[in-house]
Structure 1
Amino acid sequence: MRSSFDHPRRLRRLALVGGLAATLALGTVSAAAGGVQTQGSSDAGLTATATGAPKDYDQEIVDRFDSANSVDHIRRLAVNIGPRLNGTPQEREGAEYIGGVLKSYGFDVTLQSWGPVSTKSVAKVTSPNADLPGGPNWQMAASTSAKFTGDDAAVEGRVVYAKTGQSAADFPADTAGKIVMMDYSTTASVRNTAVVNAVSQGAVAVILAHPAGNNAPPSFTLTTAQPNIPVMGGGSAHHTWIKDLLDKGPLTLRITTNQYVNPMGTNVIGIRHAVGDPDGTKAPIVMVGAHIDSVLGAPGAHDDASGNGVSLEIARVLSQYPLDKELRIGGFGGEEGGLLGAKAYVNTLTAAERARFVGEWQMDMVGTPYEPARLWALTPNGQSNHVVQEAYNAGARVGFDGLRNCRLGQSDHQAFFDVGIPSSLFIWLDYRPPTPPAVCGPTGGTYVTEPQYHRPTDTMDNISPERLQITLDVVGGAVAHNALNAVTVSAVSDGGRPLAGAPVRADCGNGPRDLGATGADGRLQTVLPHATCDFTTTVDGRVANERGVSIAGDQAVKMTVDLTKPTISLAMPADGAVFTLGTAATASYRCDDDLAGVATCAGTVPDGSALDTSAVGFHEFTVNATDKAGNAADKKVTYQVVYPWKAHFPETMDGKAGSAVPIRFGLGGDRGLDVIAAGYPVSQPVACDSGKATGTAEPTGGPGNSKLGYGDGRYNYVWKTDKRWSGTCRTFELKLDDGSSHFTTINLK
């Protein structure tokens, strides 16, 4: 991160690296439990949910992020290479390392040279006999008043300490041929005297290092030029480290000093083209950035090898998925000199190219153990944007609520912001927004940097794997979500009703996975790679599939769940239909499904078959229907089979009370003498003029009444009337065992 004073303008991985809540107070964090992948290990096995199906792609990708890989990249940059001052070979070496890793992940890599930048005068200090604290490659300021050795004429010698170097008494007797370290003074004349005295004692090189405080290596000139020996300025850490090493025994250092006159800066850009856009001309662009360079003397483990470590881990995981968006990983040089590399890169983008950007997620100082630091998303205008909001969304998915946003430029996101590309700086910083704390004012807030900021002590000890992991989960999760295709899956009934809570699964070629459940609107927002997927949902036991969906960009998928029962059309028999015994009648019915058009249909007898009219009485006819979705329906009707009735009596007649009245009828033959329904016949008094009942019905049977008889092809029933009925009218009802009833009315004299 560029100092504002330098230039105007899911328990799984966390448990692996230590207890987070107790030591860092980072906010709520939750994640799924499981194993940890390391760089080069297989990601073929997917972490399963409790249901046995793999997780959705958001969860799966976050589970694959491993901060151990980020730590390894940080070590390569901060330790193996060391300080990477803009314009020096080390900045270029850092770009080459990042580019090599990206190439191994399948990215097209370009190293961009830009500049020139200001002249750099630096000293590289190593040791052939000691493990130097903070890394094997120290960097100090090389005085322009002294000798530049070049890489081929290194100065090597044992180190002696000469205090302030203001008198001969400060120098050991064996100073000749040695490298002399002395206390740096802010007074130019004191510095000059110290160096002159060291040269007079035969020193082969001089280091003036801050004796106290927490100072960076100082750059200085001398009143008396020293063209024959290199003279360097060291930080207070160098002073402490050298003193400690000398206390343990002899220390030999090897020194080279170089002046790089108007050198070129270096960017590295890795591009992974979208599946359908191999030429990189139309696909949306998702970009992750970090800066390569560090300040003079600082190994830059946190500032900003940490950003590159996270970027490369994001690249590693996302390179395993076919994407319809273009993924770019940027390593920018010269950030510490005024965002020089990022500005140079942005200036190469055409207007059409800038318009394709979804956003740029810039990571700068994303993993310090400094306790007061928190994770911030900072924008040059202090306002949230797509990049910021997507980080909040990703944090919510992993259960992290410690992200905050406010206002700050001072890093490479500014260059993207200036040309209208949504961008944000993600940083672990002790940032203090205006009062009240939740409000981000128009001028932003103030911040306190970690003690190692821009110092030689910005080493691997200044790296927190826990916080790197949170950054991966939050920022990496946001980048991944945006790099995948946004897919809206909707579930509706066949009647068009949105179905809430419908579980959605998809098989995109590597087995079914749970994507979640639809919301109140019947929709599920998810992300998927470039793939051909089969979608499935089950509601009330009914399954809907949408197979062979080509996911090649943001799109919608609709699944219609058949919840409507099939319809049954029953033409024959109709409900209540009456058939004469033995009459030929044919069943006629059909079943229909509103979606598929057909349904399995089964009736009491098959469609087109003869109905059963062989027995009198009431018969039930049932049709059952089942559609392909498993919806079932049934329809029941009742039809009646009756005797071939023929009455041999009039509907009305006259009779004498107390006499026997013959009721004669035919049933198409002899049907036996049990054809009359139980409890019948009955008679009932009625009004003679209107026929309206005036009393209750009474059985006609009993002592003295004739029984039913059969002869001459017909039945005869003799009804014995009552003398007391004289002068009244009565209705006679004869009900048969086929369910039919037959009536006559008699006027009794």
Structure 2
Amino acid sequence: MTRTDSRRARTVALGAAGAMALAGTVAVAAPAAAAPGAAQACEQRTNNTVAQLTDCVTLDGVMEHLEAFQGIAEANGGNRASGTPGYDASVEYVEQRLKQAGWEVSRQEFQFPFFQQISSAFSQTAPDQATYAEGADYAVMTYSASADVTATAQAVDVVVPPPAAANGNTSGCEATDFTGFTRGNIALVQRGTCPFGQKVANAQAAGASAVVVFNEGQEGRTDVVQGTLGAPGATIPAIGVSYALGSTLDGDTLRVAVEAVSEFRDTENVIAELPGRTSDNVVMAGAHLDSVPAGPGINDNGSGSAALIEVAENLAEAELTNTVRFAWWGAEELGLQGSNHYVAGLDQAQRDRLALYLNFDMVGSPNFARFIYDGDLSAFPAPSGVPVPEGSDQIEYVFEDYYEEQELFYEGTEFSGRSDYQAFIGAGIPSGGLFTGAEGVKQGYQAEAYGGEAGIAYDPNYHQVGDDIANLDPEALDQNSDAIAYAVLTLAYDTERVNGVAGGPVPGGTFEGDPEAREYRISAAQPNGGGGLHAGHDHDHGGDAV
């Protein structure tokens, strides 16, 4: 869209001053620090209107929860990853806060495949010597076993030069591929046709001491293989490399060293419910609670988790039409495990009672953009094989309505399957949500619209130790916390625009704008894929995996 200097200046001024006033039928309070006694006043009133709720949902309140998550991480090895004491303490914190607020809280336990890499090394020792760098030259496969191996690399049914088409070879896919393989050697196999876990299992059965998988070699399939074995169970280490490197290693002596924990562990989802006048039309929202093992996970995804706690605490006394259900998901970072487990456990009647699902995975990125999941598919095509359910467009418009009223720029982000909405979409449940960017690079037009710096990641500390309490943009976190409150409350009263089930008007009214007459919507220049890459989910499985 066309952006003028005056509008940009007005938007920046609004952000800097925290002026958040709706021009239409609803007034939203400025995101300022709570005055003395304000918190107590919020606890004593129903917050039935958007103005009341957003007045009570404050940046200070969200930061209180994020500081608690930071403290939990610092007391538990620096992270809050599922299957670790840091995650267990995070669950305790969420449960305690929601119970104190008066929500009905339960835990849902499930088993998941845990993986934590501790160290790795990869080098060539003969006939030449070369030391390779993790990330640039190789990547450890998720669920690789631990070992330190030096042995000869032996190619197994590879195709060099590469086949004409992707998946044009079956290297390592059949046990017979290893006929004549020398036990103790390192199996050098090529991407293609079957999952990496199958290739490694066949190599393991043939007596290989390790596996190096190199890319297939066609355009788009040349880089370092970022792979997963799918689940724990391997007894030999496995790494991925590029086509250029892997195609030269046959007969060389290599060292492959991996130290990692790969096993099944137990973890939990936290589910909290606020009964409405009907239990047959449930408005659900969720955020994953776990971090990666590398760091405390304050933006990813303490930000979404904390915003939901803050909204929940201030919504607890509201008298709502629809039942509201919040979820804090476990083991998202290892393949969306918690949300998949939850949805898989619902029978059809329970799924039918879910009016919609809202997802909040990273809402305070330090170099943020304001992304809304593209429910009307106007910016991105539907994901292959996963149609976006009818009604998702209206969820997008609810968030657009809010940003339009606040005179804040925003844009669409694709339903890429990279966060917990995926299981709900697969079950036919209308879905949407917000995202402020992960490892993707901010573009020039976005820096003009949102501020920040073009040419660097939305979150430069994504999945790193630096994702701590300082790794946030307070303005984005504040604005999005209010946007979450707005959407939840609006839909808690009435989901007719999403699923045809009429409720009642929100006390004080809400704004519904014309989706064709948006002043602050801007065009996306690239797919950003809400949620970011998560080990074990977006890592390549091989074969037809992208």
Q: 1:463 is matched with which residue? A: 472
Give unmatched runs, 5+ long, in structure 1.
Answer: 1-18, 48-53, 122-140, 144-183, 191-208, 225-256, 438-446, 489-505, 520-749
Structure-2 change in CA distance of 1:69 and 1:45 (3 Å): closer
Match of 2:363 among 357, 366, 369: 366
Q: 1:284 is matched with which residue? A: 281
How far 1:291 sits from its partner (Å)? 0.5
1:289-328 superposed matches below 5 A: 289-328=286-325
Q: In structure 2, how many angstroms separate the alpha carbons of the residues matched to 1:365 and 1:356?
A: 27
Structure-2 change in CA distance of 1:409 and 1:24 (3 Å): farther
Task: Flag the structure with more relative contact order, 1 or 2, with Cα contacts below 8 A and sequence separation at least 6.
Answer: 2
Q: In structure 1, how many angstroms separate the alpha carbons of the residues matched to 2:267 and 2:47?
A: 43
How far 1:332 sits from its partner (Å)? 0.6
How far 1:259 sits from its partner (Å)? 5.4
1:310 partner amino acid: A
Q: 2:130 is matched with which residue? A: none
How far 1:328 sits from its partner (Å)? 0.9
1:494-505 superposed matches below 5 A: none
Q: 1:265 is matched with which residue? A: 267
1:440-455 superposed matches below 5 A: 449-455=458-464
Q: In structure 2, how many angstroms separate the alpha carbons of the residues matched to 1:518 and 1:355?
A: 26
Structure-2 change in CA distance of 1:211 and 1:312 (3 Å): same
Q: In structure 2, how many angstroms separate the alpha carbons of the residues matched to 1:517 and 1:259?
A: 51
Q: 2:57 is matched with which residue? A: 65
Q: 2:69 is matched with which residue? A: 77
Are the aligned partners of 2:289 and 2:329 in contact in 1 as well (CA < 8 Å)?
Answer: yes
What is the SS of the residue equivalent to 1:284?
strand
1:593-612 superposed matches below 5 A: none
2:350 partner amino acid: E
1:130-279 superposed matches below 5 A: 141-142=117-118, 186-187=122-123, 221-223=147-149, 261-274=263-276, 276=277
Q: 1:418 is matched with which residue? A: 426
Are the aligned partners of 1:378 and 1:426 in contact in 2 as well (CA < 8 Å)?
Answer: no
Match of 2:12 among 6, 15, 21: 21
Are the aligned partners of 1:56 and 1:515 in contact in 2 as well (CA < 8 Å)?
Answer: no
TM-score (norm 2): 0.54
How far 1:84 sits from its partner (Å)? 2.1
Are the aligned partners of 1:289 and 1:361 in contact in 2 as well (CA < 8 Å)?
Answer: yes
How far 1:40 sits from its partner (Å)? 8.2
Structure-2 change in CA distance of 1:210 and 1:343 (3 Å): closer
Are the aligned partners of 2:359 and 2:420 in contact in 1 as well (CA < 8 Å)?
Answer: yes
TM-score (norm 1): 0.40
What is the SS of the residue equivalent to 1:283?
strand
Match of 1:481 among 451, 466, 490: 490
Q: In structure 1, how many angstroms separate the alpha carbons of the residues matched to 2:47 and 2:266?
A: 47
Q: In structure 2, how many angstroms separate the alpha carbons of the residues matched to 1:101 and 1:188?
A: 53
How far 1:79 sits from its partner (Å)? 3.3
What is the SS of the residue equivalent to 1:296?
coil
Q: 2:234 is matched with which residue? A: none
Structure-2 change in CA distance of 1:424 and 1:338 (3 Å): same
Q: 1:351 is matched with which residue? A: 348
Structure-2 change in CA distance of 1:420 and 1:223 (3 Å): same
Larger helix proportion of the pair: 2
2:426 partner amino acid: D
- Which deviations, in whole Å up to 9, do the C-alpha atoms of 1:690-731 show, x marking residues without a partner? xxxxxxxxxxxxxxxxxxxxxxxxxxxxxxxxxxxxxxxxxx
**Pair 1:86-2:62 in alignment:** no
Structure-2 change in CA distance of 1:316 and 1:424 (3 Å): same
How far 1:341 sits from its partner (Å)? 0.6
Q: In structure 2, how many angstroms separate the alpha carbons of the residues matched to 1:452 and 1:20?
A: 27
Q: Which has the larger radius of gyration?
A: 1
Q: In structure 2, how many angstroms separate the alpha carbons of the residues matched to 1:324 and 1:473?
A: 20
Q: In structure 2, how many angstroms separate the alpha carbons of the residues matched to 1:376 and 1:518?
A: 16
Are the aligned partners of 2:114 and 2:261 in contact in 1 as well (CA < 8 Å)?
Answer: yes
What is the SS of the residue equivalent to 2:401?
helix
Are the aligned partners of 1:88 and 1:263 in contact in 2 as well (CA < 8 Å)?
Answer: no
Q: CA RMSD in A?
A: 4.7
Q: In structure 1, how many angstroms separate the alpha carbons of the residues matched to 2:464 and 2:393?
A: 33
Q: In structure 2, how many angstroms separate the alpha carbons of the residues matched to 1:315 and 1:58?
A: 14
How far 1:303 sits from its partner (Å)? 0.6
Are the aligned partners of 1:20 and 1:26 in contact in 2 as well (CA < 8 Å)?
Answer: no
1:560-599 superposed matches below 5 A: none
How far 1:44 sits from its partner (Å)? 5.2
Q: 2:210 is matched with which residue? A: none
Are the aligned partners of 2:299 and 2:468 in contact in 1 as well (CA < 8 Å)?
Answer: yes
How far 1:313 sits from its partner (Å)? 1.1
Are the aligned partners of 1:270 and 1:330 in contact in 2 as well (CA < 8 Å)?
Answer: yes
What is the SS of the residue equivalent to 2:490?
helix
Q: 1:375 is matched with which residue? A: 371
**Pair 1:341-2:349 in alignment:** no
Match of 1:101 among 78, 97, 104: 97
What is the SS of the residue equivalent to 2:371?
strand
Percentage identity across aligned positions? 26
Give unmatched runs, 5+ long, in structure 2.
Answer: 1-9, 22-27, 127-132, 151-258, 376-380, 447-455, 498-504, 514-546
Structure-2 change in CA distance of 1:487 and 1:285 (3 Å): closer
What is the SS of the residue equivalent to 1:385?
helix
Are the aligned partners of 2:366 and 2:458 in contact in 1 as well (CA < 8 Å)?
Answer: no
Q: In structure 1, how many angstroms separate the alpha carbons of the residues matched to 2:57 and 2:121?
A: 48
Structure-2 change in CA distance of 1:410 and 1:518 (3 Å): closer
Structure-2 change in CA distance of 1:411 and 1:92 (3 Å): same
Are the aligned partners of 1:299 and 1:456 in contact in 2 as well (CA < 8 Å)?
Answer: yes
